[in-house]
Chains A and B, each alone.
Chain A
Amino acid sequence: MPDIRISHPQVPSEPRVADAKQMAEAPRTEASAIRKFLLSRGNSAVADGFFHALIVLCALSIFGIVILIATELVLRSDLAWNKFGLSFFFKAYFDPGTGLPSYWDPVNGHFSALPFVYGTLISSFLSLLLAVPLAIGLAIFLTEMCPGALRGPLAFLTELLAAIPSIIYGLWAVFILVPLLREHVNPVLIKSLGWTGLFRDDNPTGLGYVSAAVILAIMILPIISSLTREVMTAVPHSQREAVLALGATRWEMIRMGVLRNARIGIVGAVILGLGRALGETMAVTMVIGNSAEINRSLLSNGSSMAAVIANEFAEASGDLHRSALIEIGLALFVVTILVNALARILVWFVTRGAPARVH
């Protein structure tokens, strides 16, 4: 839409407003000279000042929230920091009697986040492994191949997939997905890939890392694919036409003309999906099995950082226990902030010079 900033071009002849040269050269992001003039002679300076201050306060509250969360988490987890330090995240207490590791023992006060870090990383990376090819395939189909009539409904469907609350994914996973995996997928995995030691037949419940990864993959798919679609539509049409003009097939056009130009943005979209997967709580809590152990088998029960907080926080047995849980929360906060910031920068890097979004 051509946006009209100067409603009356003859105004510059009026010397009080502004000289014509300045108006003609004003960059489009600035307010026009007319607006500046009108704003400067306002007769309600007090009300305007008050309103401006109020609005700025609202805007600054977003910084405030981040700082508030960070300070609260740091202050409330100092007990665990003092007792365990950084080794909280990678060292376990070994029981002198049996020689077995004891990761999470609220009764005796031994806490180590190692099994939860492990569970979070394993389930997130497995889910990326499942979701990324599908998401990119969907984005390619929607931007390059899809007939126009299908594009709207499909985009709407994926948008809906992103809006379903995680508790409903969890409910569906517990009653439909986990039995399905347990009866039909896990036996196949054990039979064909059992020799790797990654899929052992020792867990009859069906809950575990694999179930968590599958439901996570379904949940992060729409985020990755909608952002991938956005960076792919930002690739100029001339790029596609140039490759096609050289006699390329459609796949070659997509590979050389689109994916190569959009790759940084796609990496950003994948990282954003990773950020979502790392912090996902309810659905994972419901299907991961919740046991503070480290198992080589991907089919066995585990736990994740968010899941242990969700499970134990309300009835934490003491200040140290609660403080250890808050420290896990702090780690989650810092990691997701970093991951999201990185992803946003990558996506912005690709779409900043883009023309208006095409839908």
Chain B
Amino acid sequence: MSLQIASFRSRWRAFTDGAVTFLAILATVLVVAPLVAIFVYLIFKGARSLNVDFFTQIPKPVGEAGGGMANAIVGSGVLLGIASLLGVPVGIGGGIYLAEFGRGTKLATAIRFTADVLNGVPSIVMGIAAYSLIVLPQKHFSALAGGVALGIMMIPTVCRTTEEMLLMVPHAIREAALGLGVPNWRSVLSITVKTASPGIITGCMLAFARVAGETAPLLFTALGNSFWSTDLNREIAALPLQIYVYALSPYDEWHRLAWAGALVLIALIVMAVSLVRYVTSRGVLKGAS
């Protein structure tokens, strides 16, 4: 009798083990499926409508075939330029503090924690902040406001990746520099940061790619524009904004352009992510991030 119970239990245990293995594999398939679907559709639908016009023409009025997103690509470039001017130096500075000066202090722990929390704040809130900081006093939408909103979003990401990369630099290198009589600021900038620079640059690129796809903070700061504009004080077009407008429009021609824009955006992001993986898989920075 007890033998029977034992054999039933062992069969039950073997069964649950197999069932869980099956469920885990099923979960993995279910997670990978939408990703594959998204990429297949992007490439399938985007590649068909991607042509030279897309990169050289500005949007045509409704009903006319053709047209492109040249103004949106340039506009995104302007916005990202402003964002990088603000986000990259401040973020790298913060990362240097966390890794070089504040290591182990309470202030550094608090800053690291705040940066992580700030990373989780919805991007639309950043948009409202930039709106009330810049758009309301100026009384008009502007590229500057959009750039500042994106720049604020870059700071915590750049700060944390810079810290992680700097932590991978061996102590002996710092000591060698100091031992030669190099002042501390010089040793940090020319030795530590330089050693970690491939990682820091790719970290910045990752942050760059991430904000390149942000739409919510631009909705009421940069606003979008269907004509050429590079004026910092005026509304400016941006790739994600244009995709948003086109995706919700009722015209097939515009849907086509939206898919093409999405393909361009995703190509930029895949490049950045792969680059980060490549850099962190070799040399001194192996294992970071």
Contact = CB atoms under 8 A, between A and B. Distances in A.
B128 A326 contact: yes
A61 B179 CA distance: 32
B131 A313 contact: yes
Interface stretch (B23-31, B55-63, B226-234): B23-31
Contacts of B209: 163
B102 interface: yes
B156 interface: yes
Contacts of B178: 34-35, 38-39
Interface string A244-281: 00000111101000000000000000001001101111
B16 A251 contact: yes
A354 interface: no
Given A58-B93, A133-B27, A138-B28, A34 B175 contact: yes
Given A167-B240, A281-B124, A306-B124, A314 B223 contact: yes
Given A171-B258, A341-B117, A310 B219 contact: yes
Contacts of B38: 164, 168-169, 172
Interface in B69-128: 89-94, 96-98, 100-104, 107-108, 110-111, 113-128
A313 B175 contact: no
A148 interface: no
A4 B124 contact: no
A156 B277 contact: yes
B269 A165 contact: yes
Contacts of B206: 163
A250 B93 CA distance: 47
A32 B27 contact: no
B216 A163 contact: no
A76 B136 contact: yes
B6 to A, nearest CB: 12
B37 A279 contact: no
Contact of B128 (A175, A252, A309): A309
A107 interface: no
A150 to B, nearest CB: 9
A42 B178 CA distance: 9
A144 to B, nearest CB: 8
Interface in B206-225: 206, 209-210, 212-216, 219-220, 223
A166 B27 contact: no
A167 to B, nearest CB: 5
B272 to A, nearest CB: 8
Interface in A51-96: 51-52, 54-63, 65-66, 68-69, 72-73, 75-76
Interface in B121-146: 121-129, 131-133, 136, 141
Contacts of B186: 44
Interface string B221-261: 00100000000000000001001100110000001001100
A211 to B, nearest CB: 14
A248 to B, nearest CB: 9
B188 A218 contact: no
Contacts of B37: 172, 176
A196 interface: no
Contact of B35 (A34, A133, A161, A279): A161
B225 to A, nearest CB: 13
Contacts of A163: 206, 209-210, 269-270, 272-273
A298 B196 CA distance: 50
A135 B212 CA distance: 27
B191 interface: no
Contact of A168 (B13, B28, B210, B262): B262
A279 B125 contact: yes
B152 A65 contact: yes
Contacts of B181: 43
Contacts of A32: 171, 175
B118 A62 contact: yes
A250 B21 contact: yes
Contact of B20 (A1, A4, A254): A254
B185 A48 contact: yes
Given A59-B102, A164-B266, A174 B216 contact: no
Given A160-B270, A175-B255, A281-B124, A65 B155 contact: yes
Contacts of B174: 35
Interface in A302-359: 306, 309-310, 313-314, 325-326, 329, 332-333, 336-337, 339-341, 343-344, 356-357, 359
A340 B181 CA distance: 44
Contacts of B35: 157-158, 160-161
A313 B219 contact: yes
Given A163-B273, A250-B17, A326-B128, 20 more contacts: A4-B172, A29-B103, A51-B188, A57-B93, A62-B115, A62-B118, A69-B125, A138-B27, A165-B213, A166-B216, A168-B213, A175-B41, A249-B13, A251-B17, A252-B17, A314-B223, A332-B125, A333-B121, A336-B125, A343-B120
Interface of A: 1, 3-5, 7, 29-32, 34-35, 38-39, 42-44, 47-48, 50-52, 54-63, 65-66, 68-69, 72-73, 75-76, 133-138, 140-142, 145, 154, 156-161, 163-172, 174-176, 218, 221-222, 225, 249-252, 254, 272, 275-276, 278-282, 286, 306, 309-310, 313-314, 325-326, 329, 332-333, 336-337, 339-341, 343-344, 356-357, 359
6 contacts: A4-B170, A39-B178, A141-B24, A157-B32, A313-B128, A333-B125
